[in-house]
Amino acid sequence: MSDPANSSVVVQGRKLETRLIPGARAGAPTIVMLHEGLGSISLWRDFPDKLAAATGSPVQLYSRHGYGQSDVLDAPQSVEYMHREALEVLPELLARLGIEHPLLLGHSDGASIALIYAGTHAAVSSGLRSGLRAGLRGVVAMAPHVFVEDVSIKSIVGARTAFEATDLPQKLARHHADSAKTFYGWNDIWLHEDFRSWNIEEYLPAIRCPLMAIQGIDDEYGSMAQLDAIAAQAGGRVELVKLAACRHSPHRDQPEATLQAVARFVTTLG
């Protein structure tokens, strides 16, 4: 269900569900949260409120097109759906919301979107809109993907089995206007043969802002090779946080450790 306090904004001709949690600290960067491949505003649960309380930062959330109570998907996703989110949707969204110097915090697909956004002056070869994003305060990438691994595909196949054989559709329906379109929009493209070559490592050297990458040691959707690639190739300061007893969702599996790490990172931004 959507929060009755949520509002919406029209971006690229589509209504996107939004929610703003005010911050208590003057000058604190606005944290813009980018959800996972099956996420939404409501699926962040109470983590954004705790994040705002711990950091004093305003926290801006939105559900991407096809998610939450945003407009339902009207066409299949393309291989470049995360690129288009980072290079076209997110800049327009930030402009409409008046956010000039954000800290991007993304989970899974959202983390990849944040990394593409942060390194967009390396996007010329993709033929998509490019240009350095000035004023980005930092990036927190939780369980990011910078390339596709066999373990990712195996778990996504497993998610499809769960969606078709369990009550997962009913559970997702609590958070999405059309849970089937949301699920298959994500699942179909990740399992498409053309997606196996998806790779965003070209964006990493252009990332100059402070970057924290967080991943669970037991992440079923990606190995530590993802964090290693980010640490080796990012162009600025990188801090890695590797959490024990944690799977693909650090903010759910290890909420306190994740919250403490992010709050500490925010204090280093000045």
Bridge-partner residues for 199, per DSSP? Answer: 147
Instruction: Decide if pLDDT at 161 tops 60.
Output: yes
Give dist(CA 130, CA 255) in Å, integer. 35
Instruction: Decide if pLDDT at 126 tops 50.
Output: no
Average pLDDT in the 13-33 region?
96
Confidence (pLDDT) at 233: 98
3-class secondary structure, 14: strand
Instruction: Decide if pLDDT at 11 tops 80.
Output: yes
Average pLDDT in the 145-170 region?
98
Confidence (pLDDT) at 238: 97
**Average pLDDT across the chain, whole number:** 93
Confidence (pLDDT) at 135: 78
Q: Measuring CA to CA, how many Å separate 83 from each of 112, 206, 220, 232, 255?
A: 9, 15, 24, 22, 28
Half-sphere exposure of 168 (CA within 13 A, CB side): 14
Q: Give the helix/strand (H/E) hosting 48.
A: helix 47-55
Instruction: Decide if pLDDT at 130 tops 80.
Output: no
Give dist(CA 51, CA 258) in Å, integer. 10
Give dist(CA 43, CA 122) in Å, integer. 32
Confidence (pLDDT) at 2: 41
How are beta strands 211-216 and 238-243 bridged, if at all? Answer: parallel
Output the pTM of the full model.
0.94
| Nearest of 74, 56, 58, 67 to residue 8 by alpha carbon | 67
